[in-house]
Every structure is written in C-alpha cells, then in structure tokens.
Amino acid sequence: MTTTNLLARLAPFPELPSLIAEYVAARSADEVDGPPPWDLGALPPELLTPIYGWLDSVCRWMNETYAWQPQHVVPPCWTEHDHLAYEIAAFAFARGEAYNDAAGVIAWHEQHARFVTRMNNALGKAADDCRVGRHDARPARFALASWPTQVEGELV
C-alpha cells in the first residue's frame, strides 16, 4: 500500500459546527455563562440540534476508524441511550484537548478502550440488537417503574 492510499483512507475527526465552536470560545473567554457543551441536558435548545448532528458524525467516525470488532461499534441508536449521549459528548470534546500533545493522544486512546468497556457494560444484552438496528425500549424500564413517584422532594 502506498502512503497516498493510506492517507486517503484516514478520515479527519469531524469539525465542530460553527455555532458550537463560537459557544465554546465565548464560554472560554467568560463572555457567556453557560454549561459546558458536553453537559447535554443543561444546554439551551438552540445548541442541541447542531451538537447532536456533530456527535452523530463523531460516532460514525469512531465506528469507521476504531470499530474493528462488533463490540466496538457505537450503535446507531446511541441517542436513545442517555448514558451514551452524555459520554460520547464528553469523549468527543476531550479528543480536541488530547490532541494538543502526544501524551494526551495516548491517554485519549486509553480512554477509548475504557469507553468501549463502559458502553458494552451499560448496553448489556441489548448491545447486539442495537448494533444491527433493533433497538428496544430501555430494558430496565420495568425495574425503574417500581420506584415510587417523587413530587417536590417527597415520596408519594
């Protein structure tokens, strides 16, 4: 394989959408007092659409770049798994920081291995179905439904 063929195969990490990049820059310059962009549940609605589009591109990039084994694949229904959405967001933003120096790159790759382990542990038995497009509602829904209702800090 020639170097040209190898480089043509290596896709760049998805670029942050301009609206999100501007938000990150304004937040870093203390021009805006908002949540970190990886705290998806705290973001204003106008940032959610571009960030989810970017995170989907990041998941596709991770799958194309790192998913050699089936258990390494981030499932296409990652948005239906809140724990994955939060973790993917933090992981994607951490990559930008990590690539400032070689030691950070190594640490990011070590975190990738841990991410895959946590993803597989969290998905459990549903992982194989999710990865082939057969997403089922949250398996723990019945166990979670047994929790008593909470209203304003009190159990009902």
- Residue carrying structure tokens 């310059």: 29
Coil, strand, or helix at residue 38?
A: coil
Residue 83 has pLDDT above 70, yes or no: yes
pLDDT of residue 115: 96
- pLDDT tens digits, 89-99: 999 999 988 99
Is residue 117 within 8 Å of 71, Cβ to Cβ? no
- Residue 80 CA to residue 87 CA, distance in Å, equals 13
Which two tokens mark 18? 């301009």
- pLDDT tens digits, 23-53: 999 999 999 899 999 999 999 999 999 999 9
- Residue 104 CA to residue 123 CA, distance in Å, equals 28
pLDDT of residue 155: 60
Residue 3 has pLDDT above 70, yes or no: no
What is the separation, in whole angstroms, between the first and last Cα of the chain?
A: 66
Find all residues with CB under 8 Å of 26, minimum gap 6, and list them. Answer: 32
pTM for the whole structure: 0.85
pLDDT of residue 1: 56
Pairing of strands 154-155, 150-151: antiparallel
Least confident segment among 9-23, 78-92, 96-110, 129-143 = 129-143
- Residue 117 CA to residue 72 CA, distance in Å, equals 9
pLDDT of residue 133: 87
Which two tokens mark 123? 């998905």
What count of residues does the chain have?
Answer: 156
Q: How confident is the model at residue 61 (pLDDT cuts 50, 70, 90)?
A: very high
Rounded mean pLDDT, 13-19: 96
